[in-house]
Amino acid sequence: MEHIISDGFENPQVEIKSYPSIRQLDFQALHPRSVKAAYLSLLIGFMVLLLGYVIAYLLSADFRSFFWYVLLGHFVVFGLLFYFVQSRYLAKGYAIRARDISYRSGVFFKSLVVIPFSRVQHCEVDQGPIDRLFELSTLRIFTAGGASSDLSISGLEPEVANHIKDFIIRRTLDRHGEEE
């Protein structure tokens, strides 16, 4: 490997194979209650759409002619989504290292997001009504330049979410203290 120094600037080439793979991390699973919360959210969404179909059926004679096809399609889609809730749960996980946090997700389209703590602007812990019902929280991590969160990890126990948030904030503050 060639090592070039020019005017005090150093930029050595690195051998990619010598670094450990991010995929070898020990990912932590989300809390099992997050599966129940996902089922309830899906059921509520299904019921709202079903109510909309019934109202359209009652108000529109044109809709009645294909109502049963729409209803059948709705049940098929609901069944498939219901089936994949468990798979989505198993595909999700997070890992925290000394300098970054990683999050994997996706059944068909897999995603791995790694955010270095040096890029973190702030963190939030949120709870929606279904989260509160199942005693879960969502950790949102914001990085520089974004209006929305760059990473959201739902399905965490509130204590765990707050502990991770505090850890990230401490690491971010430690990093800023090193730069001054």
Tell me the per-residue pLDDT of 147-170, one tens digit each, with 9 for 90 and over: 666 899 999 999 999 999 999 999
| pLDDT of res. 147 | 61
The answer to whether domain 93-179 has CATH 3.40.30.10 is no
Per-domain boundaries in the chain: 33-88, 93-179
How confident is residue 180, by pLDDT bands cut at 50, 70 and 90?
very low
Q: Which of 129, 127, 130 is nearest to 158 (CA)?
A: 127
pTM above 0.75, yes or no: yes
| pLDDT of res. 37 | 97
Question: Which tens digits make up the pLDDT trace of 50-79?
Answer: 999 889 889 988 888 888 898 899 999 999
Alpha helices in the chain (DSSP H): 33-59, 61-64, 67-91, 129-133, 158-179
pLDDT at 7 over 90: no
Average pLDDT for the chain: 88
How confident is residue 17, by pLDDT bands cut at 50, 70 and 90?
confident
What would the two tokens of residue 83 be? 């089936």
Question: Which tens digits make up the pLDDT trace of 122-131?
Answer: 999 999 999 9
Provide the percentage of residues in the chain whose pLDDT is more than 90: 61
What would the two tokens of residue 144 be? 């520089």
Q: Residue 53 CB: number of other CB atoms within 10 A?
A: 14
Element (H, E) at 115: strand 111-116
Choose between 6 and 130: higher pLDDT.
130
**Buried b / exposed e across 102-131, counting CB within 10 Å, b at 16+?**
bbbbeeeeeeeeebebebbeebebebeeeb
| pLDDT of res. 23 | 66
